[in-house]
Amino acid sequence: MEITKEIQAFLLEEGKNRFLKYIKIDTTSDEGTGTFPSTEKQFDLGKILVSELKELGFENVILDEYCFVYGDLPASKGYEKTQPIGLLAHMDTSPAESGVNIEPVIHEKYDGKPITYPKNPDITLTLEDSPLLEKFKGMDVITSSGDTLLGADDKAGIAGIMAAAAAWHKYPEIKHGPITVCFTPDEEIGHGTIKINMDRLPEFCYTLDGGEIGELEIECFDAWKATITFNGISVHPGYAKNLMVNAIEIASRFVEQIPEAETPQHTEKREGFYHLYKMEGDCVKAKTIFILRDFKKENNQKRMKYLEKLKVAFEERYPGLKIELDFQHSYENMLVYLEEHPEVIQKAAEAIKMAELELHQTLIRGGTDGARLSARGIPTPNLFAGGVLFHSLKEYIPIPALQKSAEVILYLAKNWMG
């Protein structure tokens, strides 16, 4: 199989046009609703994807009650016995910044100068913000207008999958085995696989939810959530001496005991951290939520033991104070599962090289749906989608990334054909 210049041009236009279409649909998830999906508006994109998959020849296409989209593309004639593979991307965008009325701006032939935003003159995108910009000089780069995120996480992944699907439909000479796609809701709030139908997925899958062009992510954090509730005692402040136990004041002192060197703003590469994600309350009751992250389970166990020791110390220091600790395991490091199936990594690495890209086989300082799927028996590495500075107003993507992610998918399918 040869990916000709004609096919590359097709992938570029398909990837760009689909991406610009998808990001205009607000799919922000919301961890506070307690529903599946967390927001009904995610169905809006799901319905569109169902229609498009049917147009591209997919079978068994459904949008289920939990907002998961599934579709199966039959193998090219003669390749029906090829090992099926799955391709996944998530439809929701992060609630960290608004995803309402996203207005993309295309910066043609980026010249290396600071990028400004028409709707937010207070921010600029510079090489200091993202040294990767240096690599994208001369390329067209897409940002938002500055008052929303862009949505490349993960609508770039969806666009890459759909562009590849469009190429298989238009160019039957591009052969492939059986392909299953699955678009998930609520990945950004950690619910992307809770209601997934595992029976609809093949033995090996790939998520397209990574960053820089050429990345293949095979390792992620071991992740925990620590909820700490402080129960105090309220007394009229005029008569509170030796009686009041001020919950939120004590919670603040508790947080001060977290090692500053082990917080996200002071860590990188393989270093883990405590991240104070949320704090709320009053003098009677306060709550803090930390996320604990590390590439080694034992390091997170040490962090949890430290929080337990702080609990004991603070309850002794403040008679009447009651502290509740709750630890929830979010996901595991997927490397331990992927190492049992080296072929799933090897075929992806080869596909990236076949697309004439520099391979960056790396770790992700976060998590993906693939981490949870790997732990549940479906090895699922994470391929690049091409976006940078996710979850921020400065999020951006070079347009060629949308072509290259689709191109890698075509080569990946070829590699599984043997």
Q: What is the pLDDT of residues 213-268, one digit of tens each?
A: 999 999 999 999 999 999 999 999 999 999 999 999 999 999 999 999 999 999 99
Q: How confident is the model at residue 90, as a pLDDT?
A: 98
Of these residues, 187, 332, 369, 407, which one is catalytic? 187
Name the residue among 297, 293, 285 with its Cα closest to residue 324: 285
List, for residues 331-363, the tens digit of each pLDDT value.
889 999 999 999 999 999 999 999 999 999 999
Between CA 344 and CA 335 the distance in angstroms is 12
Q: How confident is the model at residue 270, as a pLDDT?
A: 94
Mean pLDDT of all residues in 77-105: 97
Q: What is the CATH number of domain 222-330?
A: 3.30.70.360
Q: What percent of the chain has pLDDT over 70?
A: 100
3-state DSSP call for residue 181?
A: strand
Of these residues, 72, 92, 188, 332, which one is catalytic? 92
Q: Does residue 187 have an active-site annotation?
A: yes
Name the residue among 229, 157, 150, 149 with its Cα closest to residue 192: 157
List, for residues 277-304, the tens digit of each pLDDT value.
999 999 999 999 999 999 999 999 999 9
Between CA 413 and CA 232 the distance in angstroms is 59
Domain boundary assignment for the chain? 5-220+333-416, 222-330
Q: 5-220+333-416: what CATH class?
A: alpha beta
pTM for the model stands at 0.89
Q: How confident is the model at residue 418, as a pLDDT?
A: 80
